[in-house]
Structure 1
Amino acid sequence: MRFAAKSLHIALPVSTIPRTKALRYALYFSPPKDDPLTGAASLWLGRDAFTGETYPAPAYEQLGQAEQFELTADPRRYGFHATIKAPFALAASVTEKDLMAFAEDFASRTPAFEIPELVLGQLGRFFALVPGSLHQPLQDFAAKVVKSFEPFRATLSEADIIRRNPEKLSDSQRANLQRWGYPYVMEDFGFHMTLSGQVPETRAEVMKAILAERFAGFTGRPLSISSLAVFVEETRGAPFKVHSWLPLSGAKS
């Protein structure tokens, strides 16, 4: 399934995004607002990060609404996405206006590309849509975003570092946390669009079967990386919202 990029970036109505400085920003990949994958994932997770609309949990014979709602709580707060540059506070020397001007320019100079195949994956105890195999253009794109936007990121607080449990990270992940503010970048980056929180081992097969059926129309097919989305978290712990969806419109080399 191929997703066409829009010619202009999508910004939400002024009424939905306060112009005050958000606590944190994030650079994510998201399909377009009206893309069928965005709709399917939003209904599954229970919230649309573009509109803020919420939905009741779907009910299955083997997975009740209350359990499904609990198992999707974490990805529901973040909204359907793949992390490219993890949430960060702005450095004191820059403003939201600076960030957005740079993001729009970056997107206008960066060409869209495709992941050859999207599949359902299980990463530890959570499920996500992932590439069928390592795709170097995707790795290169993610690294470029992390490096290019680094001047906008405030240094992590000690509390934020501790929150990442550095003692449980590999040497390279700890180095990434110190250098880039997030462990899973560069060689440790793995593109994933999260569909669940931590699923108990006893419920993993049920969850896998439900997700395989629910997202069958999107797996085994290419996914167009056609955008860079700026998400905002207005207060710590609040749901992340789409601030702007920026099409990658650079010329292909």
Structure 2
Amino acid sequence: MRFRRYAVYHLPQGPLGDFGSAWLGWDARHGLVHLRPEGLPPDVETVTTVPRRYGFHATLKAPFHLAEGRTPEDLARRLRLVCDHLAPFALDLEPRCDWGFLALRPLHQPTELLALESALVTRLDDLRAPLTGAERDRRNPDALPPQARAHLDHWGYPFVLDLFQYHLTLSGQLPPPRAEALRQALAPHLAPLVAAPMPVAAVALMGEDEDGFLRMIEEVPLRG
């Protein structure tokens, strides 16, 4: 399959990953439309429209076009080399309504997580094509804080490195009262799934298909 863009995500496994895929309606790990179980809030289709095509994930290296002369095989090979020196870890998660959408976020970001994100952002970047003017404009750079705008111009994405915040997105942008109502509605479903720390032992190389959906190409273990 041909892909338009590539990314590196963390895709939760086990019951939490299954729930997230069912909630969003797209299983990026297996490239399948996921049937939603009964008992979820009735307007799930509306609140998940935007994040659905990305699947249940946390962004580590945001979607990008390959640089001229670079191949998907180059990217996969480099990713494996980087991950050979990065250690697995675990995250304690909680549902939060920050920045206008609902997501699962860690109670704190351990050094292993920050090292992982930093290595993927910086050590894969020579494989990334520069942003086009249209791609940059879509990020509304004039509305970004200076540091985020600098990251956008240097790394192709504003919220990296010192501005990185791990999050597993569960909704699109919502008014604060609606986001809080959704958090409360999902709390009984999420509580048993995040009662224990979530392991992060691998990352996923992703490809964006012609329909704009992200699919896992390869899962790469952290071997450090």
User: What range describes the TM-score normalised by the shorter chain of this pair?
Assistant: over 0.9
- In the TM superposition, what is the alpha-carbon distance from 1:101 to its structure 2 partner? 1.2
- The code of the aligned residue for 1:46 comes to G
Question: Pick from 198, 202, 218: which aligns with 1:244?
Answer: 218
- The code of the aligned residue for 1:53 comes to L
* TM-score (norm: length of structure 1): 0.83
Structure 1 residue runs of 5 or longer lacking an equivalent are 1-17
Q: Could you give the per-residue CA deviations for residues 131-184 of structure 1, whole angstroms, max 9, x where no partner exists?
A: 112323212221111011011100000000000011111000000000000000
Distance 2:31 2:116 in 1: 28
Q: Corresponding residue for 1:11?
A: none
Question: Pick from 141, 146, 159: which aligns with 2:116?
Answer: 141
Q: Aligned-pair RMSD on alpha carbons? A: 1.7
**Counterparts in 2 of 1:82-97, with a 5 A limit?**
82-97=58-73
Q: Corresponding residue for 1:127?
A: 102
Distance 1:222 1:156 in 2: 36
- More deviation, 166-175/132-141: 132-141
- In the TM superposition, what is the alpha-carbon distance from 1:86 to its structure 2 partner? 0.2
Query: In 1, are the aligned partners of 2:87 and 2:112 still within 8 Å (CA)?
Result: no
Runs of 4 or more above 6 Å deviation: none
Structure 2 residue runs of 5 or longer lacking an equivalent are none
Q: Secondary structure of the equivalent of 1:215? A: helix
Matched, 1:54 2:25: no
Query: In 1, are the aligned partners of 2:95 and 2:105 still within 8 Å (CA)?
Result: yes
Q: 1:172 to 1:220 in 2, by over 3 A?
A: farther
Distance 2:99 2:52 in 1: 19
**Counterparts in 2 of 1:1-253, with a 5 A limit?**
18=1, 20=2, 22-32=3-13, 35-57=14-36, 63-64=41-42, 67-115=43-91, 117-235=92-210, 238-250=212-224
- More deviation, 151-160/98-107: 98-107
Query: In 2, are the aligned partners of 1:47 and 1:54 still within 8 Å (CA)?
Result: yes
Distance 1:215 1:41 in 2: 10
* TM-score (norm: length of structure 2): 0.93
How many residues matched? 224
Q: 1:82 to 1:39 in 2, by over 3 A?
A: same
Q: Secondary structure of the equivalent of 1:144? A: helix
- The code of the aligned residue for 2:22 comes to L
- In the TM superposition, what is the alpha-carbon distance from 1:58 to its structure 2 partner? 5.1
Distance 1:60 1:198 in 2: 23
Query: In 2, are the aligned partners of 1:57 and 1:69 still within 8 Å (CA)?
Result: no
Distance 1:59 1:72 in 2: 16
Distance 1:179 1:41 in 2: 32
